[in-house]
Structure 1
Amino acid sequence: MTSRIVYNGELRTTATHLQSNTPIETDAPVDNQGKGERFSPTDLLATSLGSCMMTLMGIKARDMNIDLTGVTIDIQKHMKADPRRVGGVEVTFHFPATLALDEKQKTILQNAALTCPVAKSIHPDIEQKVVFNW
């Protein structure tokens, strides 16, 4: 098993990663009857996309002896109604100004990000807009 989820009441859950015993709490968002005090499940979906992209870039960067420490990613989730669902995710990478890469290195890293398992698992109806700010 990967995780165990416990419903805590009041639209809050605690998911525990079984290998590490690390918890993640979720809340329903305010616009869907929740408190919005934690990530919502759909926030985690969008955030997982960015984390997966960064992980794949990190693996490729390590293979190329490139240090990506300090890269930040902004995630913007867009919801749709009827039925309520994630309609799009914007992923914006910001690379440190001190990171000097050539175009070939940038292309390799970008391709690694765009082929991450989460990106390939998200339904094609969910628009993925990815920006790399080198």
Structure 2
Amino acid sequence: MPTIKSTYLGNLRTQATHLQSGNTLITDAPVDNNGKGEAFSPTDLVCAALGACMVTIMGIVAEREGISLEGLSWEMTKVMQSNPRKIQEIIVDFKWDQPGGDNILRQKLKNAAKTCPVALSLDPEIKQTVNFNF
């Protein structure tokens, strides 16, 4: 059974619908690749998926350990290469001003992030640089 249904809207723009929830998102080609840059590019979504997956798995560990990740934030930086055009590196910078638990718990959270399904699914040629500021 399909998970997502997508449509090409023209002008290098697509719309994807998550079939279970009905939520939609739009993609647009980036300005440096003939697009308008008015929405996430497909490669932006790869980066967003990585960050969201990392935090989801960290959240599972945190809940199991009885702590809240509330206030955790992160920024993603995408580094592209050309010939062929593809993601060369994804940099994830986590920031958490109120970390709970001890060093062992923090290490569990870091391990969880680095072994999330998206991180493990990306081509090994894509460098994943993850900075934990907590």
Q: What TM-score, normalized by structure 2, do the two folds share?
A: 0.97
**Residues 36-90 of structure 1: CA deviation (Å, up to 9, x unaligned):** 0000000000111100000000001000011001110100000000010000000
Q: Would the aligned equivalents of 2:53 and 2:117 in 1 still touch at CA under 8 Å?
A: yes
SS of aligned partner of 2:108: helix
Match of 1:129 in 2: 129
Q: Would the aligned equivalents of 2:88 and 2:126 in 1 still touch at CA under 8 Å?
A: yes
Alignment of 1:88-127 (within 5 A): 88-96=89-97, 98-127=98-127
Give the number of equivalent residue pairs. Answer: 133
| Structure 1 residue identity aligned to 2:88 | G
SS of aligned partner of 1:69: coil
**Rounded Cα–Cα distance in structure 1 between residues aligned with 2:72 and 2:38:** 26
Match of 1:48 in 2: 49
RMSD: 0.7
| Structure 2 residue identity aligned to 1:103 | N
**Residues 90-132 of structure 1: CA deviation (Å, up to 9, x unaligned):** 0010002x33431001001111111000000000100000000
**Residues 6-49 of structure 1: CA deviation (Å, up to 9, x unaligned):** 11111110000000000010000000000000000000001111
Q: Would the aligned equivalents of 2:68 and 2:100 in 1 still touch at CA under 8 Å?
A: no
**Rounded Cα–Cα distance in structure 2 between residues aligned with 1:26 and 1:59:** 29
| Structure 1 residue identity aligned to 2:84 | P
**Rounded Cα–Cα distance in structure 2 between residues aligned with 1:86 and 1:34:** 17
**Rounded Cα–Cα distance in structure 2 between residues aligned with 1:70 and 1:40:** 27
Q: What TM-score, normalized by structure 1, do the two folds share?
A: 0.97
| Structure 2 residue identity aligned to 1:2 | T
Residue identity over aligned pairs, in percent, reads 48
| Structure 2 residue identity aligned to 1:73 | W
Alignment of 1:15-94 (within 5 A): 15-94=16-95
Structure 1: runs of 5 or more not aligned: none
**Rounded Cα–Cα distance in structure 2 between residues aligned with 1:119 and 1:15:** 22
